[in-house]
């Protein structure tokens, strides 16, 4: 198996990675055949996966602009993945040139590629850390050197919590991050769910099985369970909804959006 020049040494390119699969769904080029194979297998069961990822990205861009409009100029994006066009720092810094963005991911390819993309941008950094260990994130020198946690921060958890099993206490991790953030901070999150998928649960389960087989279980949670991540935050209107329904920039006429875009939920909460 040929190792591309951009692949960091020491990573096993025979094991699929969820961030590189996400990159493939979005049409990126920082993925290996093993990632493409797993992604194609998942798409056999859920052909709309690329559409779901695009809905996630569009939601992320709208919420980042919303945060800037509310005077927030610091962003902490955990599980940021491989940077593709229109990433958080591009959207935030286009709206507010002084905006600071700290990315966090535990995939070495995502970290290495982010480092290359951010080279020369002194208001954006990438830290190698894991959402399951929030203390490490909060104490990471890259993050503490860039963000002032005494001021409001927009915390992004986009398409990441559904890879954290209950045994790893995702609610505890989100609560710990929330408690470290200043009043006025926002949490921006999206999460996979069976709700909205235009297939039967049995059909959608095929995709869940693919992720389980690559030892990155995809945890589908209910609307109520996802709402639990917003504890300690005040949900911003329209609440926890399907991603295209969160403050769309153009009015949607019925049937205009791909039905897959309505899979799962997204929301924004504000810490009082």
Binned average pLDDT, 10 residues per bin, the chain of 272 residues = 72 88 93 95 96 96 98 98 90 97 94 92 97 98 97 98 97 98 98 96 95 94 98 98 94 77 97 96
Say how far residue 63 (Cα) sits from the centre of its chain: 12
Note the pLDDT of residue 4. 74
Cβ atoms of 52 and 264 closer than 8 Å: yes
Provide the 8-state DSSP code for 252: P
Note the pLDDT of residue 254. 60
Whole-Å CA distances, 114 to 84, 87, 118: 9, 10, 6
The pTM (predicted TM-score) of the whole model is 0.94
Note the pLDDT of residue 124. 98
Element (H, E) at 125: strand 124-128
Tokens found for residue 163: 């890879």
Say how far residue 172 (Cα) sits from the centre of its chain: 18
**Class of CATH domain 54-199+222-247+256-270:** alpha beta
Q: Which residues of 116-138 are buried (b: 16+ CB within 10 A; e: fewer)?
A: ebbeeeebbbbbbbbbbebeebb
Note the pLDDT of residue 13. 80
Note the pLDDT of residue 200. 95
39-86 pLDDT per residue, tens = 999 999 999 999 999 999 999 999 999 999 999 999 999 999 998 888
The pairing of strands 265-270 and 186-191 is antiparallel
Note the pLDDT of residue 70. 98
Note the pLDDT of residue 256. 73
Task: Tell me the C-alpha distance between 200 and 232, whole Å.
Answer: 34
Q: Which residues of 152-184 are buried (b: 16+ CB within 10 A; e: fewer)?
A: bbbbbbbbbbbbbeeeeebeebbeebbebbeee
Tokens found for residue 166: 């209950």
Task: Tell me the C-alpha distance between 192 and 42, whole Å.
Answer: 14
Note the pLDDT of residue 255. 65
Task: Tell me the C-alpha distance between 217 and 214, whole Å.
Answer: 8
Note the pLDDT of residue 10. 74
Note the pLDDT of residue 77. 98
81-118 pLDDT per residue, tens = 998 888 999 999 999 999 999 999 999 889 988 998 99
**C-alpha count within 13 angstroms, C-beta hemisphere, residue 142:** 20
């Amino acid at each position: 198996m040929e190792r591309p020049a951009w692949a960091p040494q020491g990573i096993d390119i025979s094991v699929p990675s969820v961030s590189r699969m996400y990159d493939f769904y979005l049409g990126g080029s920082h993925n290996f055949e093993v990632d493409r194979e797993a992604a194609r297998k998942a798409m056999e069961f859920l052909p709309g996966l690329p559409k779901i990822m695009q809905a996630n990205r569009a939601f992320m861009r709208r919420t980042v602009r919303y945060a800037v409009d509310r005077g927030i100029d610091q962003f902490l994006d955990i599980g940021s993945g491989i940077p593709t066009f229109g990433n958080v720092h591009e959207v935030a810094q286009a709206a507010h040139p002084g905006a600071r963005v700290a990315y966090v991911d535990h995939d070495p390819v995502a970290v290495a590629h982010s480092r290359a993309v951010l080279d020369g941008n002194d208001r954006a950094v990438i830290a190698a850390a894991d959402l399951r260990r929030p203390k490490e994130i909060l104490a990471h020198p890259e993050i503490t050197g860039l963000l002032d946690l005494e001021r409001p921060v927009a915390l992004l958890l986009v398409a990441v919590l559904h890879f954290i099993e209950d045994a790893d206490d995702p609610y505890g991790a989100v609560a710990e991050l929330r408690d470290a953030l200043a009043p006025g901070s926002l949490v921006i999150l999206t999460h996979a769910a069976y709700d909205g998928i235009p297939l039967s649960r049995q059909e959608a389960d095929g995709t869940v099985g693919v992720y389980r087989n690559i030892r990155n279980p995809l945890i589908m949670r209910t609307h109520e369970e996802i709402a639990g991540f917003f504890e300690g935050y005040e949900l911003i209107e329209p609440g926890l909804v399907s991603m295209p329904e969160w403050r769309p920039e153009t009015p949607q006429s019925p049937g205009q959006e791909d039905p897959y875009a309505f899979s799962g939920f997204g929301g924004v909460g504000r810490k009082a």
